Amino acid sequence: MAFVTRFAPSPTGYLHRGHAFSALTAFDASRAAGGRFVLRIEDIDATRCRPEYEAAILEDLAWLGVSWEQPVRRQSDHLADYHATIETLRERGLVYRCFRTRKELDIGRAPHDVQAPFTGAPLPPDEESARLARGDAFAWRLSLEAARDALDGFEALTFTEEGSGPGGETGSILARPETAGDIVLARKDVGVAYHLAVVLDDALQEITHVIRGEDLFEAAHIQRLLQALLNLPTPIYRHHRLLLGPDGRRYAKRDRAQTLRELRAAGVTPQALRAEMGLT
């Protein structure tokens, strides 16, 4: 059976140990399976991504001993394709314009409730036209209600988890996209959202195994729904544990986790890093 996996970093900063663990886990799995490994640069958010980080990613991965197929797919080169998909979803009545600002979405919610999923509906046509004429910013949201109507098997969508989610979820998993509410598929400043670009690219690159950190386990539930709506194949998922730092917390860019470049400058070798992370 074909085996194709990928590493899909966003160039919003330098790679740190957590990325190295993820990239090596996927790369090693592709080698063990005699399969293929592709690299994808997820740079759709032009407000946060920088070319110098992309260059650093290639350099750091090569230093780690990871090799990937050419050409590298860069999502910002394909924005028109993602927009065309949003357009087909719009024609099918699966997305609607949401004009609410973040502030408006938070109004009326208890402070502990800010994560509550949002579900809404299109504005009445005359109100929508007026807001569009005014040039108000809006996001395209996927309507769970419309998706439920469009898909016969909405309640029975599953995916295979060969690794495990944060709660130990493994095996055949029932997708629960509704827990995320009506997700945003595109915004004014970020023309396409992560979930849509990921499912389209995973299908286009014929990814058979999505190997990534368990922090993205919830994303699989939403991505499964998008695959069903867009008639795309569902890869097998292998979410892996997150590497924890000496303080018992996961490595993250926001904590200024030590970058691979800093480790390299300090004389750490890729072999030593592998050993430290429990990879042989």
40, 68 contact by CB (below 8 A)? no
Nearer to ligand GLU, 15 or 94 (CB): 15
For ligand GLU, which stretch binds (CB under 6 A), given 2-10, 61-69, 106-114, 142-150? 2-10
Question: Minimum Å distance from CB 15 to ligand GLU?
Answer: 10
**201 near ligand GLU, judged by CB under 6 A:** no
Question: Minimum Å distance from CB 253 to ligand GLU?
Answer: 10
**Of residues 194, 251, 276, 240, the one with CA closest to residue 26:** 240
Total residues in contact with ligand GLU, by rule CB under 6 A: 7
For ligand GLU, which stretch binds (CB under 6 A), given 6-14, 77-85, 89-97, 265-273? 6-14
- Taking CB under 6 A as the criterion, the residue among 25, 42, 61, 224 binding ligand GLU is 42
How distant, in Å, are the alpha carbons of 44, 72, 138, 156, 231 from that of 187? 11, 25, 6, 30, 24
Nearer to ligand GLU, 50 or 92 (CB): 50
**10 near ligand GLU, judged by CB under 6 A:** yes
141, 95 contact by CB (below 8 A)? yes
Nearer to ligand GLU, 22 or 143 (CB): 22
Element holding 20 (H helix, E strand) = helix 17-32
Beta-strand (E) ranges in 187-279? 209-213, 236-240
**Of residues 18, 20, 21, 23, the one with CA closest to residue 6:** 23
For ligand GLU, which stretch binds (CB under 6 A), given 8-16, 46-54, 93-101, 129-137? 8-16
- Taking CB under 6 A as the criterion, the residue among 8, 49, 64, 273 binding ligand GLU is 8
Q: What are phi and psi of 94, to 5 degrees?
A: -95, -15
- Taking CB under 6 A as the criterion, the residue among 17, 97, 209, 212 binding ligand GLU is 212
**Residue 161-200 contact track with ligand GLU, rule CB under 6 A, x = bound:** -------------------------------------x--
**9 near ligand GLU, judged by CB under 6 A:** yes
**214 near ligand GLU, judged by CB under 6 A:** no
How distant, in Å, are the alpha carbons of 36, 39, 49, 122, 146 from that of 70? 11, 8, 21, 42, 39
Nearer to ligand GLU, 148 or 253 (CB): 253
Nearer to ligand GLU, 19 or 141 (CB): 19
Nearer to ligand GLU, 138 or 237 (CB): 237
Q: Are strands 36-41 and 73-74 parallel, antiparallel or unpaired?
A: parallel
**216 near ligand GLU, judged by CB under 6 A:** yes
61, 19 contact by CB (below 8 A)? no
Dihedral (Cα; 195, 197, 198, 202), 10-degree rounding = 150
The tokens of 1 are what?
A: 């059976």
Which residues, other chains included, contact 257 with Cβ-Cβ below 8 Å and sequence gap of 6+?
A: 16, 17, 18, 245, 251
Binding site for ligand GLU (CB under 6 A): 8-10, 42, 198, 212, 216
